[in-house]
Amino acid sequence: MNRPVNQIILIALLAGYTLLSLSPILWAALISIKQPIDAFMPTLSLDFEPTLEFHWQVWTEQGFVTYLRNSVIVAVSTVLISLSFGTMAAYQLTRMSAAGSRPLLLGILGMRMFPHILLALPFFVIAQTLDMIDSFPALILSMVAINQPFTIWLMRSFFADVPKEIYEAAAIDGCNAWQTFYRVALPIVKPGLWVAALFSLLLAYNEFLFALVLSGPNTRTLPVGISEYGAEDITYWSLSAAAAIGITLPIVIFMVLLQRHLVRGLSMGAVKG
């Protein structure tokens, strides 16, 4: 079998896998432009008159924009705090000896392994005691707490790929610890920062349990907000599908705009000189 045939087979398999992965999104998009009577047809049919009525309702009548604003505030704040502290912690753990950093790394990993349901009640009690229910600080701090271990481990892998000779050269040039981190190490792992920012953003943007427990009418985020669209009335089927499409749009736009940085970050360390 020659090389062109192998490439055709590979492309066909990848196209099929991509179509299979996108099928739930395509199905939701199809339902979102159907009237409920068409959406509940037992078989797939393209013989219907498309409508944007439910998308219009989501964005103008159902509070979707308010939920989106709250989600952006929480997600962006979580990324800024997690990335700032997590990057510094990851850098220092990389510079420490293996014997000194291993217990800390295992402890951080253990925190990440805790089921969210076990942490939701303590966070709720603390927030209630401090009168912080339905406030952005409570949501943001809880998201940072559950995302910080992931950020530290991810950024540590990027810092570990930086040759030690670079740090030694910086010390010879007279850089102190902060200058070595800020002016030498950080620019090298900059593509990795975009990757860590993306995953932290996704974790905070999609978080449902903590947002459900700690939010209220003033701070309700998208995952909690659109869960209220469901009801016994079948008209909510198309409305929920339109909301599901709407919640994915900001992330898709973010990934398209930062695609070049993300590809570089994901490929860091893949090729060794």
* pLDDT of the residue at 83: 92
What is the model's pLDDT at position 270? Answer: 46
If you average pLDDT over residues 13-20, what whole number do you get? 90
The pLDDT of residue 77: 95
For residue 231, is pLDDT > 60? no
pLDDT at 143: 92
More confident residue, 180 or 98: 180
| Whether residue 264 has pLDDT greater than 70 | no
**What's the distance, Cα to Cα, between the start and end of the chain in Å?**
33
Which CATH topology does 63-228 take?
Answer: MetI-like fold (1.10.3720)
User: According to the model, what pLDDT value does residue 252 have?
Assistant: 85
Comparing CA positions, the residue from 70, 36, 69 lying closest to residue 51 is 36
Q: How far, in Å, CA of 266 to CA of 91, rounded? A: 18
Give the mean model confidence (pLDDT) for residues 17-42. Answer: 84
pLDDT value, residue 21: 87
What are the residue boundaries of the structural domains of the chain, listed by start? 63-228
Instruction: Please report where in the chains the tokens 């943001």 appear, as a residue.
Output: 140
Better-scored residue on pLDDT, 45 or 255? 255
Q: Is 178 helix (H, G, I), strand (E, B) or coil?
A: helix
